[in-house]
Amino acid sequence: MNTGVKTYDENEKPQFSETTMAEVKRVIGLFPEGKQKSALIRILHIAEEEFGGWLSVPTMNYVAEILNIQPIEVYEVATFYTMFNIDKPGKVVLEVCRTGPCMLVGSDNIIEHIENKLNVKVGETTADGMFTLKTAECLGACGYGPMLQCGKTYHEHLTTEKVDELLDTLRKEHSTSSNS
Ligand code: FES
């Protein structure tokens, strides 16, 4: 989800680019008059992509302003769904499924292994800003657990060895890319 995120200064008032605003208006226009809140989730995805891969309070307030709804209505949605980052994430976000079927085949071990390997707890970002570890509820790949999502890619049938390889690969891939 934070793959290829753009540079974003969180101290600036958020402002969609002209092109993005046109898309936002198109999405809002898909819903009947007075039901613009129905566009919220899609617009939060757009905002995350536009503003550095996460939803700061000013970003959520900006979305509320555009949809003409209360900021609390945006906070409620953004904090409910684990797919949204409400804290600035690392370059790479790992979301490990922890729901029953994955848990039965060892997701707890995978989570613990990543915590130990990266020296973070779930919800934290490594000191070098490279990895953020999150957990997620069922990601729809129950027959392939334990599994994790990284960006738009699923990594399935995980073992601790596979996780080690994955972390090494991701670190190499992202060590030269920027994130702000
Ligand atoms: S329980 Fe993990 S993907 Fe469904």
**4 CA to centre of ligand 1 in angstroms:** 26
Q: Which atom of ligand 1 is nearest to the CA of 146?
A: 2
Query: What are the tens digits of pLDDT across the range 149-165?
Result: 998 899 999 999 999 99
pLDDT value for 12? 72
For residues 62 and 108, membership in a common domain is answered with no
Q: Is residue 133, in this structure, part of any structural domain at all?
A: yes
Sheet holding 92-97, edge to edge: 131-136, 92-97, 148-150, 153-155
pLDDT for residue 2 is more than 90: no
**38 CA to centre of ligand 1 in angstroms:** 27
* CATH code for the domain in which residue 112 is found: 3.40.30.10
pTM beyond cutoff 0.85: no
Query: pLDDT band at residue 176, thresholds of 50, 70 and 90?
Result: confident
pLDDT value for 13? 84
Q: Is the dihedral angle over the CA atoms 85, 89, 93, 99 positive or is it negative?
A: negative
Residue where one domain finishes, among candidates 80, 102, 127: 80
pLDDT for residue 10 is more than 70: no
Tokens found for residue 58: 């000013």
Cα gap 15→12, rounded to integer Å: 9
Q: Is residue 37, in this structure, part of any structural domain at all?
A: yes
Q: Is the dihedral angle over the CA atoms 12, 17, 21, 24 positive or is it negative?
A: negative
For residues 100 and 170, membership in a common domain is answered with yes
* Choice from 97, 98, 105, 110 to test ligand 1 binding pocket (greatest atom count within 8 A of CB): 97
Q: Is 142 in the pocket of ligand 1 (CB under 6 A)?
A: yes
Cα gap 63→55, rounded to integer Å: 10
Number of domains in the chain: 2
For residues 111 and 153, membership in a common domain is answered with yes
Q: Is residue 11, in this structure, part of any structural domain at all?
A: no
**Cβ-proximal residues to 56 (8 Å cutoff; 6+ apart), any chain:** 10, 14, 88
Range of the domain at 57: 18-80
Q: Is residue 30, in this structure, part of any structural domain at all?
A: yes
Q: Is residue 86, in this structure, part of any structural domain at all?
A: no
